[in-house]
Amino acid sequence: MHEKHSALIIGAGVAGLQATIDLAKVGFNVYLVEQKPRFGGHTSLLHKVFPTLENATELLKPLVQSVTEHPKVKIVPYSDIGSVSGAIGDFHIDITRKARYVDEERCTLCGDCSKACPVNVPKEYEMGLGTRKAIYLPSPFPFPQKYLIDTDNCLQFKDGSCTACKDACPEDAVNYEEKNRKERLKADVIIVATGFKPYDAGKIGQYKYGAYRNVITGMEYERLCSPDGPTKGEIVRIDNKKKPKSVVYILCIGSRDEQHLQYCCKIGCVNALKHAYFLKNQYGDETEAHICYTDLRAVGKHAEKFYREVRESEVNLIHGEPSEIQELPDRTLTIDVYDQATAKLLSITADLVVLETGLEPRTGIQEKLKIPLNQNGFFKVAHPTLSAHETPVAGIFLAGSVQEPMNVTETLAHASAVAMKALISVQNTDKEC
């Protein structure tokens, strides 16, 4: 057992959660630092996870529960990393705990504050269809399960014109004067699990993301499919919430492109197959599904079988890159695409276009950790074959898609391997001492 050892995990997505529980189980004292006031990262926003098509929320629940209940884990939510100093066996990390402006001890989750708030804020990834208040309970998987104030949208912090939430709170839990708190942590090893961000589809001008309401990203489409999303799981047009007659899925948005991301995102092809599967499962022959691809890469031992199943459900696979999307007066969309498989120029009218975007690593913490980046913008590893989990900085490791594109299954396995590497590094340091 390793009761005297400690680890700092940066990021509470699936990679960070898995690495945390693995190290805690072997006796490490683990600090789990998360910038947001909730757990689960992007996985928590998915509908179902390939290849099992398990509900993503249900898949995450036992992992989140294990982490939050383990006595060896200290969770540091809604916090930013400051300076990092020291070396393996003796890292010092400055943390800033951001003010929530709601007393965690007094908050009883009655919700009166949120009901009284006059401000509606669009929820991330929900296409303007879902909103929350400026004082809100984060979802899914908030930690702690208490309300907090979004100061960017709260009228009190903008101009002092509103005290509705404070006036409504029966426990006097709202405190506009709360300040950020500084804290210093010590750890033997650091695991970076900051995950990824979807590539900005607006940079690919021909597809008019952000200009046309019915052009959305794959991540937003996941929210349409999810029962806890803005449409309760019903796949609809964004402009009028009506059932679509035709949906087009376009692959490699920003991926494998010299002007954008040169590498393959690895998950876009399977995501498109999954998304078309959801559509056909919901509407059958009532709605057409078209997948436009330059190359279709069904990666993974279950992917080829799934690809064949989707193809047999009468999803149209079009080998070609679409031209510029045009919007008609009724906000339906038209696309021209040359299908290399049939040597025909196709003109498609769609109610919804889904852009399967590439992904970029979240490396904003790079300068604080002093880890170089590779040519694709991911954190550099010590050796691409022999030390693929380790950075050039001894004692700092990488878990999940911050290192390279990975699906959820690969991310979980990778995080466990990284935890083992961290354990071995501490054992070797002990021997040297």
> What's the pLDDT score for residue 384?
85
> Does the domain spanning 6-98+180-195+362-432 belong to CATH 3.40.50.720?
no
Q: How confident is the model at residue 50 (pLDDT cuts 50, 70, 90)?
A: confident
Q: How confident is the model at residue 428 (pLDDT cuts 50, 70, 90)?
A: confident
Q: pLDDT, tens digit, for every residue of 1-30? A: 566 899 999 999 999 999 999 999 999 999
Backbone angles phi, psi at 290, to 5 degrees: -125, 130
> What's the pLDDT score for residue 82?
95
Q: Shortest CA distance to 390 belongs to which of 378, 400, 380? A: 380
> What's the pLDDT score for residue 3?
66
On the question of pLDDT at 109 being above 80, the answer is yes
> What's the pLDDT score for residue 299?
76
Residues 80-109 have a mean pLDDT of: 97
Arch. (CATH architecture) of 199-359: 3-Layer(bba) Sandwich (3.50)
Q: pLDDT, tens digit, for every residue of 131-177? A: 999 999 999 999 999 999 999 999 999 999 999 999 999 999 999 99
> What's the pLDDT score for residue 51?
82
> What's the pLDDT score for residue 116?
98
> What's the pLDDT score for residue 1?
52
Residues 285-289 have a mean pLDDT of: 96
Domain with CATH 3.50.50.60 in the chain: 6-98+180-195+362-432, 199-359
Q: How confident is the model at residue 319 (pLDDT cuts 50, 70, 90)?
A: very high
